[in-house]
Structure 1
Amino acid sequence: MYQTDMLSISAFSKMSDVTRKTLIYYDRIGLFKPAFVADNGYRYYHRSQLDTIGVIHIFKELGMSLEEIRGHLGKRTPASTLELLRKQEEIIQLQIAKLEQTRQMIIMQAENIELSINVNTSHIQVIWQSRIPLLLSCRVHASKKQFPEYLWDDFQLRLQRENAPIGYPNGIIVKKEDLLKRDGDMVSHMFSRMATHFQEKVYMPEGFYLVSYTRADYGDTDKIYPQIFDYIEKKQYVVLGDAYEEYLQDEVSLQNPEEYLVRIMVHIKEPSNDK
């Protein structure tokens, strides 16, 4: 061991970004000891120990206790270190997945608000929509005003499996068969716009959609459907699939629930040019 490879505790603290107080504490509990202690009590560290203190810092950041880290370092072997690193890699991958879903949630909420700022709630339009991946809940057939608790629980579990954070934007689906009965109150699924990794891949079909907006509190959106049904009948549109309801402005951005803004998209057959 060359003298030039030795660092005082102050120099080592600066290079490792670990405080002197912490280094002294690590020494006292037997977690990380200096390479040499002089007769005057001064601690000196070898440059190679920067690798070890770096690993300690990473393990600590990943939630390992000092006791767990000390236990590993006290009997470390290449095999045990490899096993621990692989476990920590899995934890990091999970954290990355959660952060990515959180990022997607923030982007989606921002885009919804941006889109909704200048929406005209009296205007109904037809748009072309490309296929969108969805996360679906279990199937139900229940009124919006008597929303089943188990549906919420089921959907939250599915969101958790996809590492989605609490509050991820979601909506509900009204099935085609209910739309054909002029019934806009019955829910079949909850959904979120999301590419799934751990559950069946489901999509909102590509095609033409009649799009309408209204101000309504949760569970009170059925009031807009008579207007939608009348418009479909007037224009002689053909309902091809389901209706998808999503809140573009909700409690995240508004204080008054009666001002929440919901978008309803009804899958229809391609309109004729003369309609």
Structure 2
Amino acid sequence: MQKFSNACIKTGDFAKLCGTNKRTLIHYDEIGLFKPARTDEKGYRYYSENQFDVFFTITCLKELGMPLKEIGAFLEQRSPQSLKTLLLEQQEKIRREEEHLRKIKEVVETKLSLVSLQESLENRQSSLADDELFFRSGSPAGHIFLEKTPEEYLIVSDPLHTNEHEKIIQTLCRHVGYCNKHDLNAGHPYGAMLDVADLRANLLDTYACFFTKVIQKPEHHPFHIKPAGDYAVAYLMGDYYDSKDTYKTLFAWIDQNHFSTGQYSYKEAVIDELATASAKEYVTKISVQVFRT
């Protein structure tokens, strides 16, 4: 389409066409960023149709976070090559922002899934007698469930296989720091893997390693695949470390049903500090893969 060369659009009309206001156009003129095509003897500004594209470019760059001073410098020196360079830079910036938003979306969806799990546990509770669903700190009450679990990817810490408190804390700190550094947190609280053989020997404080669950299979990071399959599951409400009675009942149930087990037990928070103000309501999921013998 042939563009008109005459500067015939008044400031207010041009502002409406561009989705902005007169104050912005006047400010851009005053700082030398975007001047009208002409100004008459009375000081009235007039714009031409071929200035729409320039103003649109300014708006896009500003929305991408580019300072007005840098936009002005680009416009003064613009050429096909400088435009290409600028667009490639902004394309990479958009890619990083999209990745950042994807991570935030991932965390939000994870937290929503944990809240949904909480609601499903409450629904189970309503169909069972009081105190049958949860194992509670200092109480043997609770119910064991057989649950089918899909394959899951777990970023793992350095191997532990120890109950030394100082080493456990140091390893946990390194693990959390590693996940934060590499932006691996998808919203799941960290968990712990314990060797079933140690648990059956009543070594409840001997950790194999810590883990953080992620959504996609990680590349270039130490990870463990939690196999898909059937898991014997117990839900512990209260003190995360007070799990002796829970494991005792869990393994008794496994043996009574003549199951064999996988190598590890997985302990992970379901309802954590984000969802409850009371430590007594903190819910931990304990699961062990089981097989028919």
Q: Could you state the TM-score of these two structures normalised by the residue count of structure 1?
A: 0.83
Distance 1:72-1:178 versus aligned 2 partners, 3 A rule: farther
The aligned residue for residue 91 of structure 1 is 93
Q: Where does 1:154-233 land on structure 2 (aligned, <5 Å)? A: 154-162=175-183, 164=185, 168-176=187-195, 178-187=198-207, 188-196=209-217, 198-200=219-221, 202-217=224-239, 219-220=240-241, 222-223=243-244, 224-233=246-255
Q: Which range moves more in the overlay, 114-123 or 206-215?
A: 114-123
* Cα-to-partner distance string for 1:13-35 (whole Å, 9 max, x where unaligned): 11222222122111111111122
Matched position secondary structure for 2:275 = coil
Distance 1:197 1:174 in 2: 18
Across the two proteins, how many residue pairs are aligned to each other? 268
Higher Cα Rg, which structure: 2
The aligned residue for residue 82 of structure 1 is 84
- The alignment-based identity, stated in percent, is 25
* Cα-to-partner distance string for 1:155-208 (whole Å, 9 max, x where unaligned): 34434534757xx22231323353454333344022123215553364221122
- Structure 1 unaligned spans of 5+: none
Match of 1:254 among 253, 260, 276: 276
The aligned residue for residue 71 of structure 2 is 69
Distance 1:4-1:72 versus aligned 2 partners, 3 A rule: closer
Deviation at 1:213, TM superposition (A): 0.4
Distance 1:250 1:101 in 2: 20
Distance 1:180 1:208 in 2: 20
Distance 2:194 2:86 in 1: 49
Deviation at 1:258, TM superposition (A): 1.7
Distance 1:3 1:72 in 2: 23
Matched position secondary structure for 1:89 = helix
Pair 1:116 & 2:112 matched: no
Distance 1:68 1:9 in 2: 24
Distance 1:69 1:35 in 2: 19
- Structure 2 unaligned spans of 5+: 125-132, 135-141
The aligned residue for residue 8 of structure 1 is 10
**8 Å contact 1:250–1:261 — kept in the other structure?**
yes
Q: Where does 1:31-42 land on structure 2 (aligned, <5 Å)? A: 31-42=33-44
Distance 2:164 2:154 in 1: 20
Distance 1:18-1:189 versus aligned 2 partners, 3 A rule: same
Distance 2:18 2:172 in 1: 51
The aligned residue for residue 243 of structure 1 is 265
Distance 2:270 2:6 in 1: 64
Deviation at 1:2, TM superposition (A): 3.0
**8 Å contact 1:162–1:196 — kept in the other structure?**
no
Deviation at 1:239, TM superposition (A): 2.4
Distance 1:47 1:235 in 2: 80
The aligned residue for residue 127 of structure 1 is 147
Match of 1:46 among 45, 48, 62: 48
**8 Å contact 1:174–1:185 — kept in the other structure?**
no
CA RMSD of aligned residues (A): 2.8
Q: Which range moves more in the overlay, 191-200 or 56-65?
A: 191-200
Q: Could you state the TM-score of these two structures normalised by the residue count of structure 2?
A: 0.79
Distance 1:221 1:60 in 2: 55
Deviation at 1:236, TM superposition (A): 4.0
Distance 1:78-1:136 versus aligned 2 partners, 3 A rule: farther
Pair 1:271 & 2:283 matched: no
The aligned residue for residue 128 of structure 2 is none
